[in-house]
Chain A
Amino acid sequence: MSRESLIGKSLPRIDSVDKALGRAKYAADMVLPGMLFAKVVRSPYPHANILSVDTTEAEKLPGVKAVVTGIKDTPRGAVFGIIPHTRDHILLPYEKVRYVGEEVAAVAAVDEDTAEEAVDLIKVDYEPLPFVLTAEEAVKEGAPLVHEHRPGNLAARYLVDEGNIEEALKNSDVVWEKTFTCDVASHALPEPFTAIASYEPSGKFNLWMQTQCPFQTRQGLSNTLKVAPSDIRFHSLPMGGAHGGRSDTPPGAFIACLLSRKAGRPVQVKMTREEVEDCMRDKASKLWTIKVGFKRDGTITGRDIRMLLECGAYASSAIVELWVPLLIDEVLWRAPNYRYYADLIYTNKTISSMMRTRAHVGPMSMDVCFDQMSKELGIDPIELRLKNAVLLNEVVPSKSVVTSTGLSESIVMAAEKAGWKEKKGNMGPNRGIGIGSGNMQSMFYMGFRSGSTSFIKFNDDGSCTVFTGNCDLGQGNQTMFTQIASEEIGIDMKDIKLCYGDTELCYQDPGNYSMSATVVSGNAVKKAAQDAKRRLLEMAADILDVSWEEVEMRGKEFFVKRRIGKGRGVKIGEVCRTAFKRGKPIFGFGDYRARVDYSDFGIDIKEPYNEKTYGQKVTAYSFGTTAVEVHVDPETGKVTVERIVAVNDCGTVLNPLLVRGNMHGQINFMLGHGLTEKNVWDPRTGKKLTSTFRTYKVPTANETPMIEEYFLGIPDPDGPYGAKEGSLGFGCGLHGAISNAIYDATGVWAYEVPITPDKMLNLLEEKNRTK
């Protein structure tokens, strides 16, 4: 096909115009006819038994149309959890509450004023229980148990034990050991959580809500409402950011469904900013202790990692954080002997889930390790990294194979473009430069949802509609799918409509989970488009009385290559109408099954990786390196990142304009989580104290450094046109880069995240004391 290719073109997002006009209707904007407004009664205690809930006064209030409580309305035995082992979340509880803000009852009324009044009339009798707020406290002997059936507050454990790490460390020339910590960080999403449920007399629920993965969220609702998945329809709509914070089945959706069914009217559950921060999702805190053995020549002999991960009151999708750090670490740096021991711990806090900056402590620890070891071993830090970087086609501890990698190239390029060699040690007082590398997966194993199916129907005018089960959180999936379909079919993007994320109309899809949109959903669309193209060519060939290989398409016309100037062509509209007449309407069907091993993922509290669980864990890995220049104010401890050079190994860049922007978003998140975003809980009440944009310091435009982006463009064999995950992997090394830059600037090592000004000042003062 040699019409001008769209691959690699910077095209604006197809949904941007509506958003710029203010026309886009998000869930938070929608009002359905007859819709009721809900308000939720929430626990003021971090841990308590629910003794009784009295709703009589609330029910009498004029304008109140339905009231639900866990005690009366939650189906018994209906528990949510993304894997069976950690199914621990009763979405509207009837026995116990486990974090401040947990749902206990809810009211639906004709307007929000009435709902707020009604909710204050509901009387709940609690029996407060002792509570625990940190993972370190939770694992101690005698700590209060968040879930009685989980001794030691251990939700789950992940263990990998390859080779013989004890021997390897014993026989190493140097063993480096450090502990890194990162605090709980928040998504701080723009659009307030909104779930609108509308129950039909037939028994079907309609949902309009923000979710990264409609099919997953639907499954959770199906399990907890005890209703067939196909009786729950998620409608498609634009969403105000997710970044990992909308990947579960949240109580708000469950409550909206219960209320709608009871009231026989649509019900909106909308949360305030503070409510979202307290009661939706966070990103787990981590304690990461790592030992790395080295030979004198710089080769790593093995790594021994122990991670304590805190998930809050319920395991939710934080369970995935147990193995993702492993998936990241094992493909960055070689380790012939490898032990990874990770515990997921319950605490009485906001539930944790996915986060786009997940697992950064892992890459951070290795980047600090390399810089520190380079001194001790007398080996250049870049050389040390290149020596241990996992190479193409290497097999890693899980027995995954890395099928595309630009890690080494990204390290060299980032250092070169940033002038790292010249600047290191030379930037003047209080200024420094550092580098850090990261990685992210495209598609890890997700059971039968490890693949996507796309369908395309052609209309009689030659336009088409592409159906995909994936949705768009703002990254630009809609544009990507349309771009891919246009590339394969050969018609303009404006002639391609997209139907996405509707669970009734579309085939199931993993959603924006495990960064699968490009490799999995994109490939499915590509295959469907190729299929449609073939059918178009065949029908045109039929009309033109040749074989399909002889037909060429340009613009909207099909013609015979060898008859140019001599024979007739046929327009796409006529091809489609003829197809209808002949009983063979044009469509395209494409299914893409991710290249992952369909084995048990290995969440088993007893056994490490073995024959049952070895296999390709991830279809494609994205890599990248950032070089960061910092300024540290020696008197206040404030760390300012002034410049970032980012080298992205994301395969082919389908749309540079979009990927660039997504990269900036990742940098923004990493900077926030790395330097200024800190969550604080009141140790006496268990209430989170940092639930607003004012108290939780997300970066503004004034905190943005200069950013230069580079793309390696090394195609991935699995990704569509060689593309893979584009905006997370490269940035996961940013915290290591910052730590290394801080050392270059001040001679002080920071092993924790966020490195807030007070922490930095303490480190500087400690250094001056020990001088």
Chain B
Amino acid sequence: MTYYRRLPPFDYLAPKSIGEVSFLLEQHKDDARFLAGGTLVLHQMKERVNVRSCVIGLKGVAGLDIITFGKSTGVTIGSMARLQDVADSEEVKKKCPLLATVCGMLGTPQIRNRGTLGGNVAMRFSTSETLPALIALRAQAKLMAEGGERTVLVEDLYKEMKGGNLLMDVHISALPPGAGVGFEKFAVRERFDYATVAAAVVVQMDGKTCRDITIGLGGVTLPSMRPKAAEDIMKGMMVTREVIQKVAETAAEVGHTTPDVMFSAEYKKKVLRVVVERAVKKATAT
């Protein structure tokens, strides 16, 4: 058994355009992997996990890091936009505060300065704060795949995104005015650890009644990150303490937790209920 310090040998390639990326993928196929912010790829390769002989660095690809806004269409964030840039963007803060908040709280300053939104989303770790938030925002992801570009919901990425696909951008439609948002994360070290469990909630209210609600769960298996059964409990209902409790209980039932090094699946399920309840309360308080 060996404990490695050094990275294994590989070739670093730096395409300048999507076309060049496409070409390299065709050439190297399974021998290549993408390098976005580096926080995952280098970590894994140092541990000899997912080693490839070719690494395609995306930082030089034109246009991948741009953040654009449409008055009615919402915000589109290029996959190579750094998390800290998303958090600092005045427009994102104004038009999509939930995303700005989550990008600004994920990890640490160093991670946010290099980590990209696209890289973070493409990792598909439900313990990363961005995924639950993007799911709650019903965000869409544009993929470059074989045969061209396609758009899928972020919540479906786990089944729609295949190896070799490139995540190009994430699009969040403009929220109607008065939408309420809430986010709650549980971790042993709040400003350092990934979420043990988390919940992101976006609601649209008609007075005290909930017109629409979307929930994104963190720290659960990918297919169970969107607890529609829990959403259905609150849609069209007057929001009371009991309703919120039921939403949280249902979310904890359908959100599938798995054990990790520190906590059992049962404990995580209990805390999942708590974070959903707290996030819904925050969202409906606005």
Any A–B CB pair closer than 8 Å: yes
Q: Is A274 an interface residue (CB 8 A)?
A: yes
Nearest CB of chain A from residue B46's CB, rounded to whole Å:
9
Interface string of A594-632 (1 = CB under 8 A from B): 000000000000000000000000000000000000000
A678 touches B191 (CB 8 A): no
A761 touches B2 (CB 8 A): no
Q: How far is the CA of A39 from the CA of B3 in the complex (A)?
A: 8
B261 touches A700 (CB 8 A): no
**Which of A113, A272, A680, A690 sits near B3, CB closer than 8 Å?**
A272
**Which of B9, B188, B193 sits near A757, CB closer than 8 Å?**
B188
Nearest CB of chain B from residue A98's CB, rounded to whole Å:
15
A700 touches B3 (CB 8 A): no
A700 touches B192 (CB 8 A): yes
Nearest CB of chain B from residue A240's CB, rounded to whole Å:
16
Q: Is B88 an interface residue (CB 8 A)?
A: no
A113 touches B6 (CB 8 A): yes
Listed residue (A272, A678, A761) with the most chain B CB atoms within 10 angstroms of its CB: A272
Q: Is A347 an interface residue (CB 8 A)?
A: no
Q: How far is the CA of A100 from the CA of B3 in the complex (A)?
A: 12
Q: How far is the CA of A116 from the CA of B6 in the complex (A)?
A: 8
Q: Is B73 an interface residue (CB 8 A)?
A: no
A116 touches B5 (CB 8 A): yes
B274 touches A676 (CB 8 A): no
A758 touches B3 (CB 8 A): no
Q: How far is the CA of A694 from the CA of B192 in the complex (A)?
A: 8
- Given contacts A44-B1, A635-B274, A690-B261, whether A700 and B191 have CB atoms under 8 Å apart is yes
Interface string of A627-646 (1 = CB under 8 A from B): 00000000110100000000
Nearest CB of chain B from residue A680's CB, rounded to whole Å:
5
Which residues of the partner chain A approach B2 to less than 8 Å between Cβ atoms?
A: 39, 41-42, 116, 119-120
Interface string of A735-771 (1 = CB under 8 A from B): 0000000000000000000001110010000000000
Q: How far is the CA of A263 from the CA of B114 in the complex (A)?
A: 42
Q: Is A271 an interface residue (CB 8 A)?
A: yes
Which residues of the partner chain A approach B4 to less than 8 Å between Cβ atoms?
A: 116, 272
Q: How far is the CA of A629 from the CA of B281 in the complex (A)?
A: 28
B192 nearest in chain A by CB position: A700
**Which of B192, B262, B271 sits near A756, CB closer than 8 Å?**
B262
A675 nearest in chain B by CB position: B188
**Which of A43, A689, A702, A756 sits near B1, CB closer than 8 Å?**
A43
B188 touches A702 (CB 8 A): no
- Given contacts A116-B6, A272-B3, A697-B262, whether A761 and B190 have CB atoms under 8 Å apart is no
Which residues of the partner chain A approach B1 to less than 8 Å between Cβ atoms?
A: 41-44, 100-101
Nearest CB of chain B from residue A300's CB, rounded to whole Å:
38
Nearest CB of chain A from residue B245's CB, rounded to whole Å:
12
B192 touches A689 (CB 8 A): no
Nearest CB of chain A from residue B172's CB, rounded to whole Å:
29
- Given contacts A271-B3, A272-B5, A694-B193, whether A758 and B274 have CB atoms under 8 Å apart is no
**Which of A42, A116, A676 sits near B188, CB closer than 8 Å?**
A676
A757 nearest in chain B by CB position: B188
Which residues of the partner chain A approach B274 to less than 8 Å between Cβ atoms?
A: 635-636
Q: Is A275 an interface residue (CB 8 A)?
A: yes
Interface string of B177-205 (1 = CB under 8 A from A): 00000000010111111000000000000
Q: Is B23 an interface residue (CB 8 A)?
A: no
Q: How far is the CA of A120 from the CA of B48 in the complex (A)?
A: 12
Which residues of the partner chain B approach A270 to less than 8 Å between Cβ atoms?
A: 5
A43 nearest in chain B by CB position: B1
Chain A positions 696-733 with a Cβ under 8 Å from a chain B Cβ? 697, 699-700, 702-703
Q: Is A695 an interface residue (CB 8 A)?
A: yes
Q: How far is the CA of A638 from the CA of B263 in the complex (A)?
A: 13
Q: How far is the CA of A41 from the CA of B192 in the complex (A)?
A: 33
**Which of A44, A112, A271, A702 sits near B190, CB closer than 8 Å?**
A702
A635 nearest in chain B by CB position: B274
Q: How far is the CA of A272 from the CA of B186 in the complex (A)?
A: 30
**Which of A119, A689, A703 sits near B261, CB closer than 8 Å?**
A689
Q: How far is the CA of A697 from the CA of B191 in the complex (A)?
A: 12
Q: Is B264 an interface residue (CB 8 A)?
A: yes
Q: Is B267 an interface residue (CB 8 A)?
A: yes
- Given contacts A636-B274, A690-B261, whether A274 and B188 have CB atoms under 8 Å apart is no
Q: Is B95 an interface residue (CB 8 A)?
A: no
Interface string of A239-260 (1 = CB under 8 A from B): 0000000000000000000000
B189 touches A699 (CB 8 A): yes
Which residues of the partner chain B approach A635 to less than 8 Å between Cβ atoms?
A: 270-271, 274
Nearest CB of chain B from residue A660's CB, rounded to whole Å:
24
Nearest CB of chain A from residue B179's CB, rounded to whole Å:
27
Q: How far is the CA of A271 from the CA of B5 in the complex (A)?
A: 8
Interface string of A677-694 (1 = CB under 8 A from B): 010100000000110001
Interface string of A266-278 (1 = CB under 8 A from B): 0000111011001
Q: How far is the CA of A635 from the CA of B267 in the complex (A)?
A: 11
Which residues of the partner chain B approach A689 to less than 8 Å between Cβ atoms?
A: 261
Q: How far is the CA of A678 from the CA of B189 in the complex (A)?
A: 13
Listed residue (A116, A676, A680, A695) with the most chain B CB atoms within 10 angstroms of its CB: A116
B5 touches A112 (CB 8 A): yes
Which residues of the partner chain A approach B262 to less than 8 Å between Cβ atoms?
A: 678, 680, 690, 695, 697, 756, 758
- Given contacts A636-B274, A690-B261, A756-B262, whether A42 and B189 have CB atoms under 8 Å apart is no
B186 nearest in chain A by CB position: A636
Nearest CB of chain A from residue B107's CB, rounded to whole Å:
11
Q: How far is the CA of A431 from the CA of B274 in the complex (A)?
A: 19
Q: How far is the CA of A275 from the CA of B4 in the complex (A)?
A: 9
Q: How far is the CA of A186 from the CA of B65 in the complex (A)?
A: 41
Which residues of the partner chain B approach A101 to less than 8 Å between Cβ atoms?
A: 1, 3
Chain B positions 199-246 with a Cβ under 8 Å from a chain A Cβ? none
B188 touches A697 (CB 8 A): yes
Which residues of the partner chain A approach B3 to less than 8 Å between Cβ atoms?
A: 42, 101, 271-272, 274-275, 278
A636 touches B271 (CB 8 A): yes
A112 nearest in chain B by CB position: B6
B264 nearest in chain A by CB position: A758
Which residues of the partner chain A approach B261 to less than 8 Å between Cβ atoms?
A: 680, 689-690, 695
Listed residue (A112, A697, A699) with the most chain B CB atoms within 10 angstroms of its CB: A697
Nearest CB of chain A from residue B261's CB, rounded to whole Å:
5
B6 touches A702 (CB 8 A): no
Q: How far is the CA of A767 from the CA of B193 in the complex (A)?
A: 30
**Which of A100, A120, A700 sits near B189, CB closer than 8 Å?**
A700
Q: How far is the CA of A101 from the CA of B188 in the complex (A)?
A: 28
Which residues of the partner chain B approach A41 to less than 8 Å between Cβ atoms?
A: 1-2
Nearest CB of chain B from residue A251's CB, rounded to whole Å:
14
Which residues of the partner chain B approach A116 to less than 8 Å between Cβ atoms?
A: 2, 4-6
Nearest CB of chain B from residue A625's CB, rounded to whole Å:
28
B5 touches A703 (CB 8 A): no
Listed residue (A274, A690, A757) with the most chain B CB atoms within 10 angstroms of its CB: A757
Nearest CB of chain A from residue B137's CB, rounded to whole Å:
26
**Which of A112, A676, A680, A758 sits near B267, CB closer than 8 Å?**
A758
B191 touches A702 (CB 8 A): yes
Chain A positions 26-79 with a Cβ under 8 Å from a chain B Cβ? 39, 41-44
21 A-B interface contacts by CB (under 8 A): A42-B1, A42-B2, A100-B1, A101-B3, A112-B6, A116-B2, A116-B4, A271-B3, A272-B4, A272-B5, A636-B186, A636-B270, A638-B186, A700-B192, A702-B190, A703-B189, A756-B188, A756-B262, A758-B267, A761-B267, A761-B270
Give the 9 A-B residue pairs with the shortest CB-CB distance, closest first.
A275-B3, A758-B267, A44-B1, A635-B274, A272-B3, A702-B191, A42-B1, A697-B188, A689-B261
Q: Known A-B contacts: A101-B3, A116-B5, A676-B189. Give 7 more (CB < 8 A).
A: A43-B1, A112-B5, A272-B5, A635-B274, A636-B274, A680-B262, A699-B189
